[in-house]
Structure 1
Amino acid sequence: MKAKSLGFIGGGCVTQIFLQAFANKKHEFDSVVVFDTDPGVLQALKQQFPAIQAGDLQQAASQPTVFIALHPPMVMETLDKMADVVSADALVVSLAPKITLEKISSKLKTKNKARMIPNATSYINEGYNPVTFSTGFNQAEKSELMDLLKLLGTTFEVPEAKLEAYAMLSAMLPTYFWFQWKELVSLGEPMGLSEEETKAAVRQTLQDALDLYFDHGLSPEKVMDLIPVKPIGEHEAQIAEIYQTKLMGLFGKIKP
C-alpha cells in the first residue's frame, strides 16, 4: 500500500489538520516527510508530531503518496521543481483550489493524480471533503487512497468543476461564522451568565437551529418568521450584500 509512506509539500495548517486526523485515529505510517521553506513552520509541526521527518522538496516529493499543501500561486512553480523525482506510479493529491488536474498533468508524469478540498473540521475527523480523480487513476490505488482520506471525515467523489464551489461553501464556511460565535460568547458575562453557561446556550441553540432550518420541511422564510424580534434585522441586507460581493468575488478568483 503506497500510503504507508507520505510526503507533504507544505507544512502549514492543512498539513497540521491531516496529521492530527491521522493521529486521532492512531493511524501510523512507515514515514511521513514534510517539506516547507520556513524552518519555523517545520519546527512547530515536529513539536506537535515528533514522528514526522523534515526533508527537502525532493525527499518529500519522492514518497509513494504525495500531498501538495500549498496556496495556488505556489503550486505550478513547485511542480516544476519536483517533477523529476515524482515516480510514474506515485499518488499525488493536490489540496489547492484553482489548479486543475490538466495543469498538474502538464508537469507530472504520474497518471495517479487527484484533487481534494480539505476542511478544517477534519482536525476532529469530521471533515466534509470532496475529491476528484484523474482519468486512468489506478482503481486499486484509488480505493486505498479513499480509505485513507475517509479517516478525515466524510469524503466523497465529485466532478472537478464543482471543487471550487465546495471550497467556498464548505472549506471556508466556518470562517464566516466563528468570529461571530466568539463575539456572542463574550457577551455572556456582562449579561450575567458564566462562561460555561454562555457556551452551552450558544452551542446548543446553534445545533438545534441548524436542525430546524435543514431537517423539518419549513421554508427559510417560515423558519426565520418563528422569531418575530430581530435585533440586527436592519443590517441583514448589508450582511447579505457582503456575502454576495465578497464570496462571489473570491469565487471568481479561484475558479479555474
Structure 2
Amino acid sequence: MKRTSLGFIGGGRITRIFLQAMKNVVNTSVKVCDINQETLDRLKQEYPYIETFPSISSLSEQDVIFIALHPPVIKEVSSEIAEVVSNGTTVVSLAPKFTIKQLSQLLNTTNIIRVIPNATSFINKGFNPVCFSKDISIDTRKHFFEMLEVTGACFETEEEKLEAYAIVSAMLPTYFWFQWNEMEQIGQKIGLTAQESKNAVYESLKAALDLMYHSKLNNNEVVDLIPVKPIADKEELVKELFNEKLLTLFQKIKPL
C-alpha cells in the first residue's frame, strides 16, 4: 500500500483536507468523483495531481476508496459503491453513524476501515482515530498508518468510541474559533492593531493550553491563577449550552 492508488467518493470539505495534506507527498494515482462538476473543477485547479470524474464507476481499479459523504448519502449510493469494490479493495469510511458491520452489509465487503478525520489535517496536524475491521491484516494496518501519517496523528481505537471523538475532537474547533476571532476584534476596538491582536490571542492560547495540560496543576489550580474572571457569571449558561447541543448531536450521529 506504500504506492497505493486512491479514490475519493465526494469532493467536499473532507476530501479537500486530505488532498491538501497529501499534495506534497503522494506520488501515485488519486481519483476523485463527485456529481457536481464545479466542485471537481475547483479541486482540479487547486490540486492538479488528481484526476476527476463524475461517476463512482471510475474508481473501480483503485486500491483504496475513501467514502467522503454524509451518512444519509452513503446509503443512497451504496449499491454504486458496491459495484466498484473488489476483493482487493480497501474501503475507508470518513463518516460517523455507519458501523463496520453495517457498511459490510451495504457494500458486500469486509475490508473496511473507519476514520474520524480532523480539519487540522489540512496543515498535517490532525488527530485522527481509526478502527479496522477484523479482516484487515496487520500489514495492511501498518501501511495504512504510513500512508496517512501526512495527515497528522493517527491512532487505533475501539469502534464504539469513534462518534465520541467526532464530538470531542473533530468538531471541537468550531466551538471556539468564533470566540477567538471575536477576541481579535475586541483587541482592535481597544487599541491594538489587527496583527498585534492576532498575535496576542494566538500566543496566549498556545501558552494557556500548555499550562492546563502540561503543568502539574489541576483544573482548579490553573483557573485560580487569574483572579479576575469577567464572564464567570455566564459560565453555567455556556456549560448548559454545550451539554444541550453536543449531547443531542451525539445521539443523532451515534450508530443505531
1:249 matched to 2:243: no
Residue 111 of structure 1 deviates from its aligned partner by 2.7
Q: Distance in 1 between matches of 2:67 and 2:60?
A: 9
Structure 1 runs, 4 residues or longer, greater than 3 Å off: none
* Structure 2 SS opposite 1:187: helix
Q: 1:50 aligned to 2:48?
A: yes
Superposed displacement of residue 142, structure 1? 1.9
* Number of equivalences: 254
- Cα deviation for residue 62 of structure 1 reads 4.0
Q: Trace 1:1-256 onto structure 2 (pairs within 5 A).
A: 1=1, 3-23=3-23, 26-55=24-53, 56-256=55-255
CA contact (8 A) 2:10 2:33 kept: yes
In 1, the alpha carbon distance for the partners of 2:116 and 2:95 equals 7
Measured at CA, do residues 176 and 241 of structure 1 come closer, stay the same or move farther in structure 2, by a change above 3 Å? same
Aligned residue for 1:8, secondary structure, equals strand
Alignment deviations for residues 148-201 of structure 1 (CA, whole Å, 9 cap, x no partner): 112110000001000001000100000000011111111222211111111111
Unmatched 5+ stretches in structure 1: none
Residues in 1 aligned to 2:103 and 2:88: alpha-carbon distance in whole angstroms: 15
Question: Share of identical aligned residues, percent?
Answer: 48
TM score, norm. by length of structure 2: 0.95
Deviation sequence 1:189-229 (CA, Å, 0-9, x none) = 22111111111111111011111111112221221122121
Mapped to 2, the partners of 1:60 and 1:183 lie a distance apart of 44
8 Å CA contact retained: 2:111, 2:135: yes
Residues 61 and 238 of structure 1: CA distance in aligned 2, closer, same or farther (over 3 Å): farther
Contact 1:88–1:109 under 8 Å retained in 2: no
Letter in 2 for 1:249: T
CA distances 1:81-134 after superposition (whole Å, capped 9, x unpaired): 221221112111000001100011002233321000000000010000000000
**Unaligned stretches of 5+ in structure 2?**
none
Residues 86 and 108, structure 1, Cα contact 8 Å, conserved in 2: yes
Instruction: Report the Cα offset of residue 139 of structure 1.
Output: 2.3
Q: Distance in 2 between the 1:61 and 1:195 partners?
A: 50
Q: Select between 42-51 and 92-101 the one with higher mean Cα deviation.
A: 42-51
Given that residues 72 and 97 in structure 1 are in contact (C-alpha distance below 8 angstroms), is that contact kept between their aligned partners in structure 2?
yes
CA contact (8 A) 2:56 2:84 kept: no
Report SS of the residue matched to 2:113.
strand
Change (3 A) 1:219 1:61: farther
Residue 145 of structure 1, CA deviation: 1.1
TM-score, normalised to structure 1, is 0.95
CA distance in 1, matches of 2:218, 2:144: 39
Deviation at 1:61, TM superposition (A): 4.8
Once the two structures are TM-superposed, the CA of residue 49 in structure 1 deviates from its matched residue by 0.4
Indicate the SS of the match to 1:83: helix
